[in-house]
Amino acid sequence: QKEVEQDPGPLSVPEGAIVSLNCTYSNSAFQYFMWYRQYSRKGPELLMYTYSSGNKEDGRFTAQVDKSSKYISLFIRDSQPSDSATYLCAMNTGFQKLVFGTGTRLLVSP
């Protein structure tokens, strides 16, 4: 079993929809949770990261961590075609070694 599980998609939504992207994990020692966005043939871009449980909001993006369920989510409000990309979750125990999910491909159609 992988430490971090993420549905590869693709997830197709119309422009303006609310998108929910999720990851589950098995290691209860994970403390930091990150979301990266990766466009085709580009490096991952850090969107946001959170420490422990709770919510964090940045513009149209909200990250949510539920440590009791070992489940993290990224919500995108008012999705735009420019949001079409692969979204990677990553987490660690507090040291710099990250464990990544495989990524979910998101397609937002105009």
| Neighbour order of strands in the sheet with 71-76 | 4-5, 19-25, 71-76, 61-66, 54-58
Q: Which of 101, 104, 106, 108 binds other proteins (CB under 8 A)?
A: 101
| 44 is a contact residue toward other proteins (CB under 8 A) | yes
CB atoms within 10 A of CB 8: 11
Nearer of residues 11 and 98 to other proteins, judged by Cβ: 98
Q: Which of 11, 17, 98, 107 binds other proteins (CB under 8 A)?
A: 98
Cβ–Cβ < 8 Å for 6, 104: yes
| 34 is a contact residue toward other proteins (CB under 8 A) | yes
Choices 9-17, 56-64, 71-79, 87-95; region in contact with other proteins by CB under 8 A: 87-95
Q: Which of 62, 99, 105, 107 binds other proteins (CB under 8 A)?
A: 99
Segment holding 87, helix H or strand E: strand 85-92
Q: Which two tokens stand for residue 21?
A: 């992207």
